[in-house]
Amino acid sequence: MKEFLSHQSIPFREIDVSRDPAAAAEMVRISGQQGVPVTTVDGQTIVGYDQAALEQLLSKARRPHLGAAVADVRGVYVGRVTPGSVAAQGGLQAGDIILRVGDQVMTHTGDLERVLAKLTSGEAIILSYLRAGQEHRTSILF
């Protein structure tokens, strides 16, 4: 294992494909490769030891994720909510429009990304959103 991974506290699952033919077939399907290491993080695949790509994916994995597909409207439009994500736990639904996160007004997805980038795991925020013309608030714990 590379040293840059040794101090990380990111959960992972290592699969010995020599003992699991189904897992081996899945890695070949994902990567198109046999006999090389394959790493997947949030659906993105890295084949081999591409340290720069691995570091980039791992840095994204450490940041809090809302778990919702969003777009710009009079706030930030929620297009999809990932089951089990903090967005789902906070009660967000597809079609909601995020108006504020904490005291920050959301006018586009970049606003949301900037606020999320400053959060740490275990931090809670109050999120205001619009659903069917009614404004709601929810507390979300990252």
Tell me the per-residue pLDDT of 72-91, one tens digit each, with 9 for 90 and over: 678 888 988 999 999 999 99
Q: What is the pTM of this model?
A: 0.53
Write down all domains in the chain, each with its CATH number in brackets.
3-62 (no CATH), 68-141 (2.30.42.10)
Tell me the per-residue pLDDT of 23-79, one tens digit each, with 9 for 90 and over: 777 777 776 766 667 777 666 777 666 677 777 766 665 666 677 777 667 888 898
**Radius of gyration (Cα) for the chain, nearest Å?**
18
User: Can you give the three-state secondary structure of 84-130, one letter per residue?
Assistant: CCHHHHCCCCCCCEEEEECCEECCCHHHHHHHHHCCCCCCEEEEEEE
